[in-house]
Amino acid sequence: MQQLVELFLDNAWRLTLWSIVDIVVGAIVIYGFLSLFRGTSAFSLLYGIALLLMAVAAVRSLPRLAMLNWLLTNTLPFLSIALLIVFQPELRRAVERIGRVRAIISRSLGATETAQITRAIQEIARACRRMSERRLGALIVLERETGLQEYTDTGVPIDGLVSTEMLLTIFFPNSPMHDSATIIRGDRVVAAGCVMPLSDSSMDPQLGTRHRAALGITEQTDAIAVVVSEETGIISLANNGRMVRNLDEAKLRKVLTMLYSSGPTSNWLVGRWRRTPQRTGA
């Protein structure tokens, strides 16, 4: 230990401001890279890759193993391509998040139709409360900066103002669109009966397809998803691949006001949320 301290003191004088900046930026990049895989099935693959790299280093240190060294030399390029294919969803998510910088700038420079958004949030919160009381299952996806046109095309176009009555009608059990998602853009319902991608993240097995679809769309885009459980009536909200549960009308309105009205700049709020929902039923 003393030798490590002496080694650090001997080299500390070489540190400059740019060296410190270099170290900090590198640490942030590594942390950001690892956070993309946290809570996903791909995270376990990182351990396998780490073990594989250790094995490669061990074999390379033994030059007498000519055949193994030859195999490693010729298969590593193909392994790099395979990694790009395996981690394609996470890499796509990373590039999409980088592109949200434009969204943050545009929101800071431009004005949002605050009154219309506030009215839409009130209607959504009221509708979710009434569906919760009646045990009506629902999945409402609120579009933000990332376009959801590819998912909108899977449903039925509506293009109507958000209202409590409209949402109750869409998610009424006899409605042909009640089992799928409804997409809202601004203060308008653009489509219903839309198909969402399902998340591969580990979650409470008691939770159903609606919750997995809510996590899936928020993992791939910056959308917000509100879920009402058909079995328990619990209201949940998913954002950035995380979910918070047991919301009432007032709490849902407050969270939507912070996230939907403020846009991507409020994503820091989800850091307080657990990725795996509570075990309180579907």
Greatest mean pLDDT among 1-15, 42-56, 95-109, 213-227: 213-227
Residue 171 lies in a domain: yes
Query: CATH number, domain at 167?
Result: 3.40.1700.10
Instruction: Tell me the C-alpha distance between 155 and 162, whole Å.
Output: 17
| 54, 29: one domain | yes
Mean pLDDT along residues 265-279: 41
What are residue 140's DSSP bridge partners? 182, 226
Number of domains making up the chain: 2
| 103, 165: one domain | no
Residue 92 lies in a domain: yes
| 82, 167: one domain | no
Q: What is the DSSP letter of 161?
A: E
| 14, 100: one domain | yes
Helix (H) or strand (E) holding 84: helix 66-86
Residue 199 lies in a domain: yes
- Minimal CA–CA distance to 220: which of 148, 153, 140? 148
Q: What is the pTM of this model?
A: 0.63
| 130, 242: one domain | yes
Neighbours of 229 (CB within 10 A): 24
| 185, 97: one domain | no
* Residue partners of 199: CB distance under 8 A and separation at least 6: 212, 213, 215, 216, 219, 241
| 166, 222: one domain | yes
| 140, 230: one domain | yes
* Domain end among 68, 88, 107: 107
Residue 278 lies in a domain: no
Cβ-contact 150, 220 below 8 angstroms: no
What is the pLDDT confidence band of residue 3, given thresholds at 50, 70 and 90?
low
* Domain end among 107, 126, 141: 107
The answer on pLDDT for 123 being more than 90 is: yes
| 170, 46: one domain | no
Residue 280 lies in a domain: no
At 141-184, the pLDDT tens digits run 999 887 888 899 899 999 899 999 999 999 998 888 888 999 99
- Minimal CA–CA distance to 118: which of 273, 262, 270, 271? 262
Residue numbers of the domain that contains 172? 114-272
Instruction: Tell me the C-alpha distance between 242 and 219, whole Å.
Output: 8
Residue 277 lies in a domain: no
Mean pLDDT along residues 187-212: 87
Mean pLDDT along residues 227-248: 91
Residue with tokens 């392994």: 79
* Residue partners of 83: CB distance under 8 A and separation at least 6: 49
> What radius of gyration do the chain's Cα atoms show?
24
| 101, 126: one domain | no
Residue 282 lies in a domain: no
Cβ-contact 120, 189 below 8 angstroms: no
* Domain end among 84, 107, 130: 107
At 5-57, the pLDDT tens digits run 566 556 655 667 777 888 888 888 877 777 766 655 556 666 677 777 777 77
Cβ-contact 119, 194 below 8 angstroms: no
| 159, 140: one domain | yes
